[in-house]
């Protein structure tokens, strides 16, 4: 192990590993330090996303969706099965295999690109020195021309609901239940609450979601949020808004939860409880007091638009800095910093970050909502198209939801797209590309889409902005 590098990256989640790989590709002598220990007790790469976040949750969402299709919808398609049953342990083991494959893949990419992988803890000292402590406690001091901090985030804990072994758990615990709880409480109707609540509801749990706010998914399009709530309730999620948890106690046989809502103090007993009330930047043990990096008032590492901290040649990327806590946002920042270190001039377009909630149907959006635009006093036109009128959605027996395209009233430039529907996560990329290239709604309308595809709904909604949709009555005639 050398003790001097062009770049040292602390953290090998999607922000840190992307930064490290790009640095090495650009010819910089790069080391990446990560302390994460995987489920198998060995050092792992990929951070929260690959080990305890995006990937394992999607493995369970996809498996549980297939189970729900088999138990509830195959007959509608003329498919008869015997009794469909579930093997939760196998489902979890398969999820772990997917994780192991991908985390191992990052190790391969590090090797292939020449990134030095250091397993253990990294701490930034003054003058771009880094203290590296391996898993045996052996400490050494490394030096770097540039340092990239990518330590990520951890779940928020709330005093009324302290975690307790396997009964009151955070998102990590909820990925590893050994059986399907008969009843499941979820605190927080955010992204994690809805995704992991959906997994266990599909597998048979009776799920109650307690959300402190009075509004459901306030960051999403209002109509889509309303429709999504109804659909998710139809799938067995009992979503209670305005419900603030005041206590939770694990009793061995269950969890006693107390909460306040508009009718006063309430009680609920569930087999297990997931606490999913947000994540916070993780900076414990990361910074020596004289290293020159400052935090903002909310505890994030303070950076400018190019992810530079207050300390010269020290950068921070991913969940630990302002902006949405999303893997792709962190990776973009990591790559931008690597390229700027190498003398290129890229930037991240923070107005063009796609958001997806992987329920079924999926909820996805990019850009502004109608509600935000109205609040900003901006003029805009809207086109919508329901999947109930999509040939492909009908063929697939998957017709819930809609596409909404929002375009600037003067320029017709697309400034937002909101999708509630099957494969919304895939369709939203079209709007992201369009917005990156300043496309107008008319541009989308002039583009040929394969038939029959779900994506045709995007084109029809874009045509609808000007009142020109073919497969719908237009409100506005041209």
So which residues are the catalytic ones?
A: 451
Radius of gyration from C-alpha coordinates of the chain: 24
Contact between 36 and ligand FAD per CB under 6 A: yes
Contact between 270 and ligand NAD per CB under 6 A: no
What phi, psi does 340 have (nearest 5°)? -70, -40
Q: Which of residues 107-126 bind ligand FAD (CB under 6 A)?
A: 121-122
Contact between 358 and ligand NAD per CB under 6 A: yes
Q: Which residue has the tokens 């999303």?
A: 326
Contact 109, 21 (CB under 8 A): yes
What DSSP assignment string belongs to 204-261? T-EEEEE-SSSSSSTTS-HHHHHHHHHHHHHTTEEEETT-EEEEEEE-SS-EEEEEEE
The correct pick among 28, 148, 150, 469 for binding ligand FAD (CB under 6 A) is 150
- Choose from ligand NAD, ligand FAD, none: what does 212 bind? Cβ within 5-8 Å by kind: ligand NAD
Contact between 192 and ligand FAD per CB under 6 A: yes
Contact 171, 155 (CB under 8 A): yes
Tokens representing 419? 């999708």
- Choose from ligand FAD, ligand NAD, none: what does 328 bind? Cβ within 5-8 Å by kind: ligand FAD
CA 373/CA 346 separation, integer angstroms: 28
- Choose from ligand FAD, ligand NAD, none: what does 49 bind? Cβ within 5-8 Å by kind: ligand FAD
Smallest separation, CB 174 to ligand FAD (Å): 8
Q: Which residue has the tokens 């916070």?
A: 280
Contact between 241 and ligand NAD per CB under 6 A: no
CA 276/CA 344 separation, integer angstroms: 39
When the beta carbons of 16 and 421 are compared against ligand FAD, the nearer one is 16
Q: Which of residues 349-368 bind ligand FAD (CB under 6 A)?
A: 358
Tokens representing 194? 């809805």
Tokens representing 283? 């900076």
Q: Which of residues 172-201 bind ligand NAD (CB under 6 A)?
A: 187-193, 195
Q: Which of residues 37-76 bind ligand FAD (CB under 6 A)?
A: 47-49, 52-54, 57
When the beta carbons of 191 and 465 are compared against ligand FAD, the nearer one is 191
Provide CB contacts within 8 A for 344, sequence distance 6+: none
Tokens representing 25? 């590709």
Q: Is the sign of the CA dihedral 5, 7, 10, 16 positive or negative?
A: negative
Q: Which of residues 308-327 bind ligand NAD (CB under 6 A)?
A: 324-326
Q: Which residue has the tokens 């190498």?
A: 342
Contact 464, 405 (CB under 8 A): yes
What DSSP assignment string belongs to 8-38? EEE--SHHHHHHHHHHHHTT--EEEEE--B-
The correct pick among 118, 130, 210, 414 for binding ligand NAD (CB under 6 A) is 210
Smallest separation, CB 56 to ligand FAD (Å): 7
Task: Categorise residue 230: left if φ over 0, alpha if ψ from -120 to 50, beta otherwise.
Answer: alpha
Contact between 90 and ligand NAD per CB under 6 A: no
CA 378/CA 401 separation, integer angstroms: 26
Q: Which residue has the tokens 């997806």?
A: 356
Contact 387, 401 (CB under 8 A): yes
The site map against ligand NAD for 359-378 (x = CB under 6 A) is: --------------------
- Choose from ligand NAD, ligand FAD, none: what does 28 bind? Cβ within 5-8 Å by kind: none
Count of chain residues binding ligand NAD (CB under 6 A)? 25
Tokens representing 180? 């399907």
When the beta carbons of 359 and 390 are compared against ligand FAD, the nearer one is 359
* Binding region for ligand NAD (CB under 6 A) out of 85-93, 126-134, 271-279, 393-401: 271-279
Which of 191, 222, 188 lies closest to 207 in space, CA to CA?
188
Beta bridge partners of 33: 10, 118
Contact between 171 and ligand FAD per CB under 6 A: yes
Which of 231, 239, 181, 174 lies closest to 206 in space, CA to CA?
181
- Choose from ligand FAD, ligand NAD, none: what does 16 bind? Cβ within 5-8 Å by kind: ligand FAD
Smallest separation, CB 173 to ligand FAD (Å): 11
The correct pick among 108, 112, 218, 285 for binding ligand FAD (CB under 6 A) is 285
* Binding region for ligand FAD (CB under 6 A) out of 151-159, 213-221, 340-348, 433-441: 151-159
* Binding region for ligand FAD (CB under 6 A) out of 12-20, 201-209, 303-311, 398-406: 12-20
Contact between 208 and ligand NAD per CB under 6 A: no
- Choose from ligand NAD, ligand FAD, none: what does 122 bind? Cβ within 5-8 Å by kind: ligand FAD
Count of chain residues binding ligand FAD (CB under 6 A)? 37
The correct pick among 180, 203, 287, 357 for binding ligand NAD (CB under 6 A) is 357
CB neighbour class for 136 (10 Å; exposed up to 12, middle 13-18, buried from 19): exposed
Q: Which residues bind ligand NAD (CB under 6 A)?
A: 158, 187-193, 195, 210-213, 244-245, 276-279, 324-326, 356-358
Question: Which residues in this chain contact ligand FAD in the complex, by CB under 6 A?
Answer: 10-16, 33-36, 47-49, 52-54, 57, 121-122, 150-153, 171, 192, 282, 285-286, 318-319, 325-328, 330, 358
């Amino acid at each position: 192990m050398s003790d001097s590098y062009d770049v040292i990256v602390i953290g090998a989640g999607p922000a840190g590993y992307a930064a490290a790989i790009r640095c090495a590709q650009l010819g910089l002598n790069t080391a990446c330090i990560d302390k994460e220990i995987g489920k198998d007790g060995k050092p792992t790469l990929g951070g929260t996303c690959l080990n305890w976040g995006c990937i394992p949750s999607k493995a369970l969402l996809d498996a549980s969706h297939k189970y729900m299709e088999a138990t509830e919808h195959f007959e509608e398609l003329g498919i008869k099965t015997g009794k469909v049953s579930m093997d939760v342990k196998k489902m979890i083991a398969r999820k772990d295999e997917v994780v192991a494959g991908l985390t191992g893949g990052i190790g391969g990419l590090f090797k292939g690109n020449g990134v030095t992988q250091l397993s253990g803890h990294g701490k930034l000292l003054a003058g771009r020195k880094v203290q590296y402590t391996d898993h045996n406690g052996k400490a050494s001091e490394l030096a770097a021309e540039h340092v990239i901090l990518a330590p990520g985030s951890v779940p928020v804990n709330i005093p009324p609901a302290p975690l307790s072994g396997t009964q009151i758990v955070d998102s990590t615990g909820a990925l590893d239940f050994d059986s399907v709880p008969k009843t499941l409480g979820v605190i927080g109707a955010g992204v994690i609450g809805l995704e992991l609540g959906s997994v266990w509801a599909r597998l048979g749990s009776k799920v109650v979601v307690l959300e402190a706010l009075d509004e459901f998914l306030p960051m999403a399009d209002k109509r889509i949020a309303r429709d999504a709530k109804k659909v998710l309730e139809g799938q067995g999620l009992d979503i209670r808004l305005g419900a603030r948890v005041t206590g939770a106690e694990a009793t061995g046989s269950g969890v006693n939860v107390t909460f306040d809502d508009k009718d006063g103090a309430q009680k609920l007993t569930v087999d297990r409880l997931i606490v999913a009330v947000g994540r916070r930047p993780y900076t414990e043990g990361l910074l020596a007091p004289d290293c020159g990096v400052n935090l903002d008032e909310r505890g994030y590492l303070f950076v400018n638009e190019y992810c530079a901290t207050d300390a010269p040649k020290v950068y921070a990327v991913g969940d630990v800095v302002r902006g949405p806590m999303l893997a792709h946002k962190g990776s973009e920042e990591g790559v931008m910093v690597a390229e700027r270190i190498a003398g290129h001039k890229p930037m991240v377009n923070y107005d063009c970050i796609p958001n997806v909630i992987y329920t079924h149907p999926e909820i996805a959006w990019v850009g502004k909502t109608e509600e935000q635009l109205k609040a900003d006093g901006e003029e805009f036109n809207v086109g919508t198209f329901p999947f109930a009128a999509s040939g492909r959605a009908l063929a697939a027996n998957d017709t819930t939801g809609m596409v909404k395209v929002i375009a600037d009233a003067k320029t017709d430039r697309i400034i937002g797209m909101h999708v509630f529907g099957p494969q919304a996560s895939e369709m939203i990329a079209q709007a992201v590309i369009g917005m990156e290239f300043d496309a107008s709604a008319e541009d989308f309308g002039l583009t040929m889409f394969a038939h029959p595809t779900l994506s045709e709904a995007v084109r029809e909604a874009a045509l609808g902005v000007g009142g020109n949709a073919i497969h719908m009555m237009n409100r506005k005639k041209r």
